[in-house]
C-alpha cells in the first residue's frame, strides 16, 4: 500500500512530463502523502490501485478466502481516502483520482489527464475571476 513510484505513477508522470507540466511527488505536508501534485493548479493527482481501493473493474475482485478480513481492510482504506480528501480540500487542494486500469491504456490515460488539466484550469480561472471581483469592491 505505501509503495512509491509504482508503474502506474511513472506512466502518469511520463504524460505530465510530455505536456511540460511541473509536478511534485509524495508531499508529506499534505494528508495521505499524495502521489503527485501540480502546485500551479493546486491539484492533487492520486493514482489508485484498482484492487486496494476497490475500483469495481476486473482488477478489483474480492478474494475468495477470508472475505470478512478483506472487506474490513478495504472499508478502512476507503474511510482513510475520504479523510485525506477532506483534509486536503480544507487546505484548498482539488483531488483527482486516476485508476490503475486507466494507466494501462495510453489513449485513456492521456484523455483523463487532459480532463484533469482542463477542469483545474477552469476552476482556477473562476477563482481568479471571483478574486478580481472582490478586489474591485474594496
List average pLDDT for each run of 10 residues in the chain, which is 138 residues long. Answer: 84 96 96 96 95 89 93 95 97 96 96 95 79 54
State how many domains the chain has: 1
In a domain, residue 59? The reply is yes
Q: What's the whole-model pTM score?
A: 0.86
Q: Which CATH number fits the domain that encloses residue 91?
A: 3.40.960.10
Domain boundaries, position 62: 7-132
In a domain, residue 94? The reply is yes
- Measuring CA to CA, which residue among 134, 99, 126 is closest to residue 113? 99
- Measuring CA to CA, which residue among 50, 48, 41 is closest to residue 85? 48
Cα separation of 30 and 26, whole Å? 9
- At 74-102, the pLDDT tens digits run 999 999 999 999 999 999 999 999 999 99
Cα separation of 105 and 8, whole Å? 11
Amino acid at each position: 500500500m505505501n509503495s512509491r513510484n509504482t508503474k502506474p505513477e511513472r506512466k502518469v508522470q511520463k504524460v505530465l512530463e510530455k505536456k511540460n507540466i511541473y509536478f511534485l511527488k509524495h508531499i508529506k505536508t499534505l494528508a495521505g502523502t499524495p502521489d503527485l501534485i501540480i502546485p500551479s493548479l493546486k491539484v492533487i493527482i492520486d493514482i489508485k490501485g484498482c484492487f486496494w481501493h476497490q475500483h469495481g473493474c476486473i482488477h478489483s475482485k474480492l478474494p475468495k478466502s477470508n472475505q470478512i478480513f478483506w472487506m474490513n481492510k478495504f472499508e478502512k482504506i476507503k474511510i482513510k481516502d475520504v479523510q485525506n480528501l477532506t483534509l486536503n480540500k480544507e487546505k484548498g487542494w482539488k483531488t483527482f483520482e486516476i485508476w490503475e486500469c486507466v494507466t494501462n491504456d495510453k489513449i485513456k490515460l492521456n484523455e483523463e489527464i487532459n480532463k484533469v488539466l482542463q477542469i483545474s484550469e477552469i476552476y482556477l480561472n473562476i477563482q481568479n475571476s471571483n478574486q478580481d471581483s472582490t478586489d474591485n469592491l474594496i
